[in-house]
């Protein structure tokens, strides 16, 4: 049931707002009418008419609110859209329920967020068989030109992630209801190469020395194991084997909830370097009675947002270092290992990669900057041969 509310303005009586629900979405549209009894009565008649049209399926959002941002979300369906297929919103729920058993918790949460906003507002009222390639391309164009969460422009990666469940839903619906898949020839937006910003070994040692004492062991372990945030936050003492000198990655924590590792190759045993062993032995004094190795005083998982805001960023600012994500600790571990001459296959296993392809694609350009002698062997060999031929 809709209602008439008022939005107060500074120094004035405020303006009336129509508040109603359409296609499962709460809609609030401000008018230029001041809050008076006569204006309320007048606007109530408009609201009653809107709700009658919604009930009979003839409501046009753009007709009543042509300048509203919502008008683009609730475009009227074409007259030929009676395909006999379910609404996108309804089939999406079926698709989710059928696939939830094979997805990680983090994937389910991400898909649910994407469905609620922006997929349902845009396609929820469409019959799934009525969505065309043109609709999909127009929607993707809107994503690229409008602002996302927090008023930030969406990256190509984020847009592709929004399109992923849409692709899955339409692909399954096209097979089940026998209509051409409108997503079939639509390719992903090129995302470009992601830049990484690892720390130097000197910076690593400085950060570990200057960080708050209660996070020293945490940061040392992150830098010298290459563990992902979720992996180190989900590390339990039962997976730390001091006798064998390994850390077993078997569980993770995402948004403070337990989950499984990212991929099958993420299940791995990480070799415990002496500096890590020392840090973990020290950490056992503080959390040895807890289940988690690194946790709050009450034993709950660390809050990554709090770590970034209260510990990580202030530390970088204090040391005059550029702001970087805590995830750069993983990239740093990889570059330092490779620069020190470790076997790339060993490095890949430490990081949980299936092969060395990603190592050479992502990290190779940092190795010369760290070792300062890459290519020196072949140069020396050539110079020796050239010099030898001159002497003959």
Element (H, E) at 6: strand 3-7
Question: How many Å apart are CA 351 and CA 329, to the nearest integer?
Answer: 12
Query: What predicted TM-score, i.e. pTM, was given to this entire model?
Result: 0.69
Neighbouring C-alpha atoms within 13 Å toward the C-beta of 149 = 7
Give the domains, in start order, of the chain with CATH numbers: 3-71 (no CATH), 88-177 (1.10.150), 201-371 (1.10.443.10)
Judge whether 326 and 337 are in contact, CB under 8 Å.
Answer: no
The reported pLDDT for the residue numbered 46 is: 93
Question: How many Å apart are CA 5 and CA 20, to the nearest integer?
Answer: 11
Phi and psi at 17, nearest 5°, equal -125, 135
DSSP state of 4: E
How do residues 343-379 score in pLDDT, each as one tens digit? Answer: 889 999 999 998 888 888 888 776 655 545 555 555 5
The reported pLDDT for the residue numbered 387 is: 58
Phi and psi at 257, nearest 5°, equal -120, 140
* Closest C-alpha among 377, 334, 333 to residue 356: 334
Q: What DSSP assignment string belongs to 38-68?
A: HHHHHHHHHHHHHHHHHHHT---HHHH-TTS
Q: Which CB contacts under 8 angstroms, 24+ apart, belong to 331-335?
A: 331/196, 331/197, 331/198, 331/362, 331/363, 332/198, 332/199, 332/204, 332/223, 333/223, 333/224, 333/225, 333/226, 334/198, 334/226, 334/359, 334/362, 334/363, 335/198, 335/363, 335/366, 335/367, 335/370
The reported pLDDT for the residue numbered 79 is: 45
Tokens for 355? 């092969």
Question: How many Å apart are CA 320 and CA 173, to the nearest integer?
Answer: 54
Judge whether 283 and 236 are in contact, CB under 8 Å.
Answer: no
Judge whether 254 and 278 are in contact, CB under 8 Å.
Answer: no
Question: How many Å apart are CA 350 and CA 235, to the nearest integer?
Answer: 15
The reported pLDDT for the residue numbered 392 is: 47
The reported pLDDT for the residue numbered 359 is: 85
Phi and psi at 6, nearest 5°, equal -130, 140
Question: How many Å apart are CA 303 and CA 253, to the nearest integer?
Answer: 10
Which parts of the chain sit beneath pLDDT 50?
79-80, 371, 389, 391-392
How do residues 202-245 score in pLDDT, each as one tens digit? Answer: 999 999 999 999 999 999 999 999 999 999 999 999 999 999 99
């Amino acid at each position: 049931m809709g209602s008439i509310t008022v939005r107060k303005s500074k120094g004035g009586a405020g303006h009336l707002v129509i508040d109603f629900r359409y296609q499962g979405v709460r809609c609030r549209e401000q008018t230029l009418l001041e809050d008076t009894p006569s204006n309320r009565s007048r606007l109530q008649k408009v609201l009653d008419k809107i709700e009658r049209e919604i009930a009979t399926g003839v409501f046009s959002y753009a007709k009543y609110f042509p300048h509203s941002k919502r008008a683009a979300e609730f475009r009227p369906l074409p007259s030929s859209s009676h395909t006999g297929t379910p609404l996108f919103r309804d089939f999406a729920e079926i698709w989710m329920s059928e696939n939830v058993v094979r997805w990680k918790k983090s994937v389910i949460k991400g898909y649910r967020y994407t469905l609620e906003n922006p997929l349902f507002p845009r396609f929820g009222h469409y019959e799934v068989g009525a969505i065309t390639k043109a609709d999909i391309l127009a929607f993707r164009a809107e994503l690229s030109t409008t602002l996302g969460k927090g008023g930030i422009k969406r990256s190509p990666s984020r847009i592709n992630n929004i399109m992923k469940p849409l692709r899955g839903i339409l692909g399954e619906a096209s097979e089940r209801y026998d209509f051409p898949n409108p997503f079939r020839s639509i390719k992903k937006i090129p995302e470009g190469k992601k830049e990484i910003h690892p720390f130097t070994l000197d910076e690593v040692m400085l950060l570990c020395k200057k960080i708050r004492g209660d996070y020293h062991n945490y940061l040392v372990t992150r830098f010298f194991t290459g563990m992902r945030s979720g992996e180190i936050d989900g590390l339990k003492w039962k997976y730390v084997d001091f006798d064998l000198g390994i850390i077993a990655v078997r569980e993770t924590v995402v948004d403070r909830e337990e989950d499984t590792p990212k991929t099958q190759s993420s299940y791995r045993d990480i070799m415990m370097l002496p500096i890590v062993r020392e840090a973990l032995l020290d950490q056992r004094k503080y959390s040895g009675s807890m289940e988690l190795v690194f946790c709050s005083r009450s034993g709950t998982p660390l809050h990554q947002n709090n770590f970034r805001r209260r510990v990580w960023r202030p530390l970088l600012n204090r040391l005059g270092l550029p702001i970087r994500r805590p995830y750069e600790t993983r990239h740093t571990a990889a570059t330092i290992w490779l620069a020190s001459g470790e076997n790339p296959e060993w490095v890949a296993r430490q990081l949980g990669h299936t092969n060395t392809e990603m190592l050479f694609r992502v990290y190779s350009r940092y190795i010369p900057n760290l070792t300062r002698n890459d290519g020196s062997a072949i140069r020396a060999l050539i110079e020796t041969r050239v010099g030898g031929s001159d002497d003959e």
